[in-house]
Amino acid sequence: MKKIGAQIFIDCLLKEGVDTIFGFPGGAVLPIYDVLYDAPLNHILVRHEQGAVHMADGYARASGKPGVVVVTSGPGATNTVTGIATAYMDSIPMVVFTGQVPTALIGNDAFQEADIVGITRPCTKHNYLVKSLEELPRIVKEAFYIATTGRPGPVLVDIPKDVLMAFADVKHPEKITLESYQPNYKGHPGQIKKAIDMIMASKRPVVYAGGGVILSNASDELQTFITKLGIPTTTTLMGLGAFPGTHPLFMGMLGMHGTYCANMAVTNTDCLIAIGARFDDRVTGKIDEFAPFAGIIHVDIDPTSISKNVKVDIPIVGDVKNVLKELIKGIPGPKGVKEFKKNLEEWHAQVTGWENTHKLSYKQDPKGKIKPQYVIEKLYEATKGDAIVTTEVGQNQMWAAQFFKYDKARTFLTSGGLGTMGFGFPAAIGAQIAFPNKTVIGIAGDGSLQMNIQELATAVQYKLPIKIAILNNMVLGMVRQWQEFFYDKRYSHTCISVAPDFVKLAEAYGAVGLRAKTIEEVEKVIKEAMSIKDRPVLMDFKVDQFEDVYPMVPTGQPLNKMLLV
Amino acid sequence: MRHTISILVSNEFGVLSRISGLFSGRGFNIESLSVAETLDAKISRMTIVTRGDDKVIEQINKQLNKLINVIKVTDFTDEEHIERELALIKVTSNPESRAEILSIVDIFRAKVVDVSPRSYTVEITGDEEKINAMTELLRPFGIKEIVKTGRIAMARSPKQK
Ligand SMILES: Cc1ncc(C[n+]2csc(CCOP(=O)(O)OP(=O)(O)O)c2C)c(N)n1
């Protein structure tokens, strides 16, 4: 039977198991919106296309399912770019559909034409321009396949309006094969054996786990592996939650704002086991002095990650979950493990020593201004950690990483690679839509939040009980901190005290606004916010403007040269 | 060090810009690039000459392989292979110099493909050394223009035992 292109498109989505899409209409996608009018799909109407992409991203990070976005051509498409680049840097599975001007007009500078395939080529895993209705089902299927397999990532599909309006009787492919795309899932057995040998011979091992563990749904395997051997563990920002934050073997995050313990352990380890992590410069500090005494094992599904920044001794290309299973199988019997653990005693003592010398800390004067870290701790206490936390970018992000403990994967959602201000709030909306009954907290800076504040309308429209906690320091805090440390306290253009009254703003949108100016008010505000179940709450915490994030490894310094409180 | 890399890609629109974008976006350099269809019209071959230390070349290979449209990447550097390039050289000529130019052309087994009262256009095929050697010999006469195809390469068939 012949069907209109837009209907075939929606059929393709349904066949992929899509139930939720984030979108914003416009001329080029009118045919799709006409079909959506009575399609069995949950469409979330956003207020800005960037918001749609971050929502789909938050949805994907929280649920593991690919996020789906539909926007119109031209400005609709270009508004998605920051969101796509954010997802690309963090390897988040997502498919973005953009409308395009009719095929005959492409290249003519037609109204609302933008070469979005050209624009997004470097920030998508792959992208397509659909040239005929006949190829649409195959391309949609390939798009989802590519987005969700191997190292995941965003895929963009640009669909001209005439394709959406054509009629055809098309077959949906059951299977697709891509000759040139075959990710390698199984680690090489020889390499796995070598890795086990290196680990078992080590006396000061460290596991350094990243976001890849979460993407591969391998946190159970990771935990089994680590606890069997008793290896001290650190994670990257993206890896928080991959290993329980409250576990005695967890040393905290490493890197620029990592814990003293994690950074010292990585500097002194003789065997660094990197799992689903990519040696980002925010993690390694000065690269030549990173883990100088260590043999390095690196497990990653993406061969380009291996030996890109740091020379690796034993690379294992494969899916983290599969490789961890093999590593666990390779662990010697009880006698070998016992001996190994005995050899680690000295190392554990040293790690504990570091743990106790410089714990993450701050000073809360009971009569003074609210410290932002205090707010995070109280949020943790109020939820007992049972929440999905999203962050914006800056100091708020680092304090959320340091002072909230994440015991489960997919509960800490943050823009790690691109560091996109404006990510956290829409990501919280996406997470809440994926998990309507969970507590979702968006930890925000007053600067970042204003980058996508318009999505309050979306959150109100869908009655989402998101808790936004603004650590309101009236400055672009992280930039101010760098100016304080490295630019002689010349606070150039980082003061944003001209800001809306966030409580009134929340109310204007139909959300709830609450404010805490004193320490006593913090817990009261949190308690009240947690009791609201039918709409978003914005908590405005007036915090100390001059609080800094510690520890800090200044750029270009090795990890053990930290500025400490 | 210089490497000649051959890339088989699916013959789709936009592939060239994916590859060149990868090089420019990651700061890899391209000394020359040539593209044409293979025997299979669905597949094209690109030959890229690039430069870099081992680490850079390793990244180039891996990054190319990561592109969805790339089917196969071969680095010819450590393999027995044949390389060729074609150049068109327009050289100033006058009655006094003509004979000498023609003899150079002859020695290099090149060809004169266009003649005008004031110039010869010479076509030469060969590896880079040969083309450079001839260019240097022609230079004193006054080279007006050079156009080169960029290098192409093919692995040598294994010798019979
Ligand atoms: C879109 C974008 N623009 C600029 C930056 C640079 N930047 C990084 S942190 C920061 C300050 C963020 O301020 P705020 O949201 O108030 O958070 P705080 O650091 O005060 O917690 C800025 C401007 C960025 N990361 N993203």
| CA dihedral of residues A32, A33, A38, A41 (deg, nearest 10) | 80
Q: Is A220 exposed, middle or buried (0-12, 13-18, 19+ CB in 10 A)?
A: exposed
The encoded tokens of residue B32 equal: 């020359």
> Could you say which of A2, A111, A182, A345 is catalytic?
A111
* Angle value at C-alpha B85, between B79 and B86, nearest 5 degrees: 165
What pLDDT sits at residue B161?
58
> Mutation test of the interface with chain B: which of A117, A124, A126, A181, choosing the one with the most B Cβ atoms within 10 A?
A181
Q: Is A259 exposed, middle or buried (0-12, 13-18, 19+ CB in 10 A)?
A: buried
Spatial separation of the C-alpha atoms in residues B124 and B149, rounded to whole Å: 11
B13: contact with A, CB 8 A cutoff: yes
Spatial separation of the C-alpha atoms in residues B38 and B9, rounded to whole Å: 10
List of chain A residues with pLDDT < 50: none
B26: contact with A, CB 8 A cutoff: no
Does A392 contact ligand 1 (Cβ within 6 A)?
A: yes
Does A416 contact ligand 1 (Cβ within 6 A)?
A: no
- Contact between A167 and A5 under an 8 Å Cβ cutoff? The reply is yes
**Which residues, other chains included, contact A242 with Cβ-Cβ below 8 Å and sequence gap of 6+?**
A209, A210, A211, A213, A214, A218, A219, A222, A235, A276, A409
The encoded tokens of residue A389 equal: 């936390």
Nearest Cβ partner for A304 among B10, B63, B69: B63
- Contact between B24 and B50 under an 8 Å Cβ cutoff? The reply is no
Q: Atom 4, ligand 1: which residue's CA is nearest?
A: A421
At which residue do the structure tokens 């044949």 appear?
A: B82
Segment A517-528, tens digit of pLDDT: 999 999 999 999
A161 an active-site residue?
yes
Does A499 contact ligand 1 (Cβ within 6 A)?
A: no
Could you tell me how many CB contacts below 8 A there are between chain A and chain B?
A: 38
What pLDDT sits at residue B78?
85
| Beta bridge partners of residue A514, listed in sequence order | A539
Q: Atom 23, ligand 1: which residue's CA is nearest?
A: A476
A521 an active-site residue?
no
What would the DSSP string read from start to end of A309-328?
Answer: SS--SEEEES-HHHHHHHHH
- Contact between A469 and A537 under an 8 Å Cβ cutoff? The reply is no
**Scanning every residue of chain A, which has its alpha carbon at the shortest distance from the alpha carbon of B56?**
A308
B10: contact with A, CB 8 A cutoff: yes
Start-to-end CA distance of chain B, whole Å, equals 32
| Beta bridge partners of residue B74, listed in sequence order | B6
Residues of B in contact with A307 (CB under 8 A): 55, 58
**Scanning every residue of chain B, which has its alpha carbon at the shortest distance from the alpha carbon of A142?**
B68
3-class secondary-structure state, position A333: coil
**Scanning every residue of chain B, which has its alpha carbon at the shortest distance from the alpha carbon of A143?**
B68
Does A442 contact ligand 1 (Cβ within 6 A)?
A: no
The encoded tokens of residue B22 equal: 């990868």
Please state the length of chain B.
Answer: 161
- Contact between A265 and A290 under an 8 Å Cβ cutoff? The reply is no
B95 cis-preceded (ω within 30 degrees of 0): no
> What is the interface pTM, i.e. ipTM, of the complex?
0.89
What pLDDT sits at residue A224?
98
- DSSP secondary structure code for residue A27 in this structure: G
| Beta bridge partners of residue A445, listed in sequence order | A471
Give the CA count within 13 Å in the CB-facing half-sphere of A204.
Answer: 19
What would the DSSP string read from start to end of A207-254?
Answer: EEE-HHHHHTT-HHHHHHHHHHHT--EEE-TTTTTSS-TTSTTEEEE-
3-class secondary-structure state, position A346: helix
* Angle value at C-alpha B79, between B76 and B82, nearest 5 degrees: 70
What pLDDT sits at residue B22?
95
B27: contact with A, CB 8 A cutoff: no
Locate all alpha helices (DSSP H) within chain B, ordered by sequence: 15-25, 54-66, 98-107, 128-138
Which residue among A421, A481, A485, A495 has the greatest number of ligand 1 atoms within 8 angstroms of its CB, and so is best to mutate?
A: A421
The encoded tokens of residue A134 equal: 């006949």
The encoded tokens of residue A547 equal: 């609080």
Nearest Cβ partner for A180 among B17, B62, B71: B71
- A405-441 burial, b if ≥16 CB within 10 A, otherwise e? bbbebbbbbbbbbbbbbbbbbbbbbbbbbbbeebbbb
A181: contact with B, CB 8 A cutoff: yes
**Scanning every residue of chain A, which has its alpha carbon at the shortest distance from the alpha carbon of B57?**
A308
3-class secondary-structure state, position A99: strand
Does A50 contact ligand 1 (Cβ within 6 A)?
A: no
Nearest Cβ partner for B68 among A117, A181, A302: A181
The helix (run of H) or strand (run of E) holding residue A98 is: strand A94-100
The single-letter code of the amino acid at A453 is: I
pLDDT by position in tens, chain B (length 161)? 899 999 999 998 899 999 999 999 999 999 999 999 999 999 999 999 999 999 999 999 999 999 999 999 999 988 899 999 999 999 999 999 999 999 999 999 999 999 999 999 999 999 999 999 999 999 999 999 999 999 999 999 987 65
Nearest Cβ partner for A304 among B13, B62, B69: B62
Q: Is A288 exposed, middle or buried (0-12, 13-18, 19+ CB in 10 A)?
A: exposed
- Contact between A239 and A254 under an 8 Å Cβ cutoff? The reply is no
Query: Taken in order A250, A348, A307, A255, is the CA torsion positive or negative?
Result: positive
Backbone φ, ψ for residue A557 (5° rounding): -100, 155
Interchain pair B62, A178: CB under 8 A: no
> Closest by alpha carbon to A202, among A236, A224, A232, A247?
A232
Start-to-end CA distance of chain A, whole Å, equals 70
Q: Atom 11, ligand 1: which residue's CA is nearest?
A: A476
3-class secondary-structure state, position B107: helix
Which residue among A478, A495, A541, A552 has the greatest number of ligand 1 atoms within 8 angstroms of its CB, and so is best to mutate?
A: A478
Q: Atom 20, ligand 1: which residue's CA is nearest?
A: A477
3-class secondary-structure state, position A293: coil
B94: contact with A, CB 8 A cutoff: no
B117: contact with A, CB 8 A cutoff: no
Radius of gyration of chain A (CA): 24
Q: How far is CA A204 from CA A201, A225, A351, in A?
A: 9, 16, 10
Spatial separation of the C-alpha atoms in residues B91 and B112, rounded to whole Å: 10
Nearest Cβ partner for B10 among A125, A180, A304: A180
Query: Which atom from ligand 1 is nearest to the alpha carbon of A392?
Result: 15
Spatial separation of the C-alpha atoms in residues A117 and A126, rounded to whole Å: 9
Spatial separation of the C-alpha atoms in residues A65 and A94, rounded to whole Å: 8
Does A548 contact ligand 1 (Cβ within 6 A)?
A: no
A112 an active-site residue?
yes
Q: How far is CA A273 from CA A277, A282, A313, in A?
A: 10, 18, 10
**Scanning every residue of chain A, which has its alpha carbon at the shortest distance from the alpha carbon of B14?**
A118
| CA dihedral of residues B77, B80, B81, B82 (deg, nearest 10) | 120
Side by side, the strands of the sheet bearing A20-23 are A42-45, A20-23, A67-71, A94-100, A154-160, A126-129
Residues of B in contact with A121 (CB under 8 A): 14, 17-18, 21
Cβ atoms within 10 Å of B140's Cβ, excluding its own: 10
What pLDDT sits at residue A388?
98
Spatial separation of the C-alpha atoms in residues A272 and A297, rounded to whole Å: 6
Please state the length of chain A.
Answer: 565
A478 an active-site residue?
yes
What would the DSSP string read from start to end of A378-443?
Answer: HHHHHHTT-SEEEE-SSHHHHHHHHHS---STTSEE---SS--TT-HHHHHHHHHHH-TTS-EEEE
